[in-house]
Structures are given as C-alpha cells and as structure tokens.
Amino acid sequence: MQATGDSGLDIPWAEADAIIFVVDAQDDYFDALSKLNQVILQGYRSNPDIHFHVFINKVDGLSDDYKYDTQRDIEQRVHEELIDSSHEFQDPASTEPFRLEAEVKLRFHLTSVFESSIFVAFSRIQQRLMQEERKTAAAAEEPESGQDDQDKPSEKRISLHDAVEQACNLLCSSCSLEKAYIFDVPSRTFVGCDTSPFDLPLFDVMFQYTKFLTEFSDLYMAVTADTSKSTRTWSASVVRLGSDTSVAFWQLNKYDFNIARFRTTIDQLERLAAP
Ligand SMILES: Nc1nc2c(ncn2[C@@H]2O[C@H](COP(=O)(O)OP(=O)(O)OP(=O)(O)O)[C@@H](O)[C@H]2O)c(=O)[nH]1
Ligand SMILES: [Mg+2]
C-alpha cells in the first residue's frame, strides 16, 4: 500500500526545479486531481522549492464560460485537498497552523496544443525559473557570517527575468513600440516582455510571424552566402499589417537559448535602449 503522498513516481525531486502536471479538461479529472495531490505532497516533502505547474489541457474544445468554470473547479478542488493535507506537515513545536496551500508554489495554466496557449504556458514557466535565479545569485553573494561586508559593492544583481523586462520597457519607451517580446525562436517560447498588459490577440500575431519567418528561412538554406560582401549576418524583418500596425523582428544572438550568453545580450540591449 502506498503511503499518503506517495505518487509512485520515480522522480529525482531534489534536483527538480519544476513539475508539469497535465490534466485533460475534456475527460473526468477526479482521479487525475487525486494523483496531482499525491505528486504535490511527495514533491513538497522532498523539495519545498519545486514549482508545480498544472496544465488544464484540451481547452480548445470548451466554450469560454465552461473553460473558466473548469479552471475554477479544478483550482478549488486542488486547494481543498491541500488544506486537508496540511496537518501532515505541521511542526509539533509550532503554535501556528501550517498552511500547505499557501506555502506550495503552484500555478494553473489553460492550455491547448492547437493554440499558442501551450507555448505561453511554457514561456511563463521559463520566466518563473528565471526569477528564481535572483535568489540563487543573491544567496551566493550574501556575505558569510562573521565576514566584514563593508567593502561589498552596494549594487544588487537583478534576476535575468527583471533584466529582460527592463530591457523591453526601455525598448518600448525609446522606440515607441506598443509591445516588445524577446523570443527563443527554436522553442517558440518567449523569455520575457515589457510590463504592459499581456494581450493574447497581439501575441498571436507575433507568434504566427515568428513561425512564418522560421518556415521561410528554410528557403534560403541552400543559398551560399557571399560572405565577402555581407555587412551583417543577423536577420531582421519588418512587415506592415495595416495603417497603424507593424511587426518587426530583430535577431539578438545566433544560438539557441543560453542563459550566460543571453545575459550579455540583454546588458547590451539595455545600454542601446537607454535614453
Ligand atoms: N483537442 C485537443 N486534443 C488534444 C490536445 N492535446 C492532445 N490532444 C489529442 O489527444 C489525443 C491523445 O489522447 P489523450 O487523452 O491525451 O491520451 P490518453 O489519455 O493517453 O488516452 P485515453 O485513455 O484514450 O484518454 C491525441 O489525438 C491528441 O491529438 C489538446 O490540447 N486539444
Ligand atoms: Mg485521455
């Protein structure tokens, strides 16, 4: 018999940063939610820093009203199960009741593999993990106990997530852009955007545009570039969609997503966009 919170899954919990749990919104999800509860309990017990992301998937077949009702229903059920399981984590020495539902890092995403929503969900997860980098970086820079920290520089290292956001904000204000996203083109996810509200129809335009560019770029694969004449090697493209809408694409670096190289690119971008 399984112990409470034993999901039966063989996962190296201590090394996991995030767990994605997919629930089929077009099917009966009660069994899936009790499995999810076991996964959360076991994961949290082994590593309280894990981020749990629940994909409420196949929502393309549901009406808008039903979609949000389903999300509310799932969130509420998961929440209640976490409240019921909280006593398992209660520290007997503490007089404060332990609230697992408040402690666990849990997010829900409405997704469909036939829409951009699944890519938005993966992007959000990526960004949450980039936020986390700040804690690791800050913790690494914290002076060891007993050390004199008077000579420490006062500048705090910000997270990659915040740096991307600042760079996008600067780009928008200096270049009068409505919205700026930084995309990882091969995975079709975005690593960050400016702080103006997320607009799904606007995002979809850009999302389709990057797909179009990727597909189009294959046409040039066989063309041998005359590198002696070339003045630039990175791609750029602008398309005008209407009298007041244009989409512009600039390649920032040459390689697949790499955090260290990407930070350098962001630093350069911030300097360029600075007024
Ligand atoms: N409409 C829709 N279909 C999806 C989505 N994601 C996966 N599918 C389809 O779901 C089918 C696979 O069925 P699933 O229910 O995921 O598989 P399963 O749960 O292992 O199989 P069952 O026991 O039959 O439910 C494939 O045909 C996929 O194309 C989605 O977001 N929306
Ligand atoms: Mg199924």
- pLDDT tens over the chain, length 275 residues: 344 557 778 889 999 999 999 999 999 999 999 999 999 999 999 999 999 999 999 999 899 999 999 999 999 999 999 999 999 999 999 889 999 999 999 999 999 999 999 999 999 999 988 886 555 555 555 555 544 445 555 456 678 888 889 999 999 999 999 999 999 888 889 989 999 999 998 999 999 999 888 888 777 666 666 656 655 567 888 999 887 889 999 888 765 555 666 666 667 666 766 65
**Atom of ligand 1 minimally distant from the CA of 61:** 1
Q: Could you give the CA distance from residue 101 to residue 161 in angstroms, rounded to a whole number?
A: 26
Ligand 2 centroid distance, CA of 58 (Å): 10
**Atom of ligand 1 minimally distant from the CA of 118:** 31
The CA distances from residue 204 to 2, 50, 90, 148, 210, in Å, are 44, 30, 45, 52, 10
Q: Which candidate, 199, 23, 51, places its Cα nearest to that of 112?
A: 23
Residues of the chain with CATH 3.30.450.190: 158-222+234-273
Task: Look at residue 101 in the predicted model and tell me its pLDDT.
Answer: 94
> Residue 123 burial (CB < 10 Å; 0-12/13-18/19+)?
buried
Residue nearest (by alpha carbon) to ligand 1 atom 23: 27
Ligand 1 centroid distance, CA of 43 (Å): 26
Contact between residue 237 and residue 134 where contact means Cβ atoms under 8 Å apart: no
Pairing of strands 245-250, 189-193: unpaired
Q: Which candidate, 128, 145, 126, 66, places its Cα nearest to that of 257?
A: 126
Q: Could you give the CA distance from residue 22 to residue 108 in angstroms, rounded to a whole number?
A: 10
CATH topology of domain 158-222+234-273: Beta-Lactamase (3.30.450)
Put residue 104 in one of left, alpha, beta given phi > 0 → left and psi -120 to 50 → alpha: beta
Which of 58, 70, 112 has most ligand 1 atoms within 8 Å of its beta carbon, as the pocket-test mutant?
58
Q: Could you give the CA distance from residue 180 to residue 194 in angstroms, rounded to a whole number?
A: 6
Which of 23, 24, 60, 63 has most ligand 1 atoms within 8 Å of its beta carbon, as the pocket-test mutant?
24
Superfamily of domain 13-115: P-loop containing nucleotide triphosphate hydrolases (3.40.50.300)
Which of 114, 117, 120 has most ligand 1 atoms within 8 Å of its beta carbon, as the pocket-test mutant?
114
What are the phi and psi torsion angles at 260 (to 5°)? -65, -45
Pocket (CB within 6 angstroms of ligand 1): 24, 27, 57-58, 60-61, 112-114
Ligand 1 centroid distance, CA of 52 (Å): 21
**Atom of ligand 1 minimally distant from the CA of 115:** 31
Task: Look at residue 61 in the predicted model and tell me its pLDDT.
Answer: 86
**Atom of ligand 1 minimally distant from the CA of 57:** 31
Strand segments, DSSP code E, in 60-158 are 105-110
Residue nearest (by alpha carbon) to ligand 1 atom 16: 24
Ligand 1 centroid distance, CA of 61 (Å): 11
Residue nearest (by alpha carbon) to ligand 1 atom 30: 58
Of the chain, the end-to-end C-alpha distance in Å amounts to 64
Task: Look at residue 131 in the predicted model and tell me its pLDDT.
Answer: 83
Pairing of strands 51-57, 18-24: parallel
Residues of the chain with CATH 3.40.50.300: 13-115
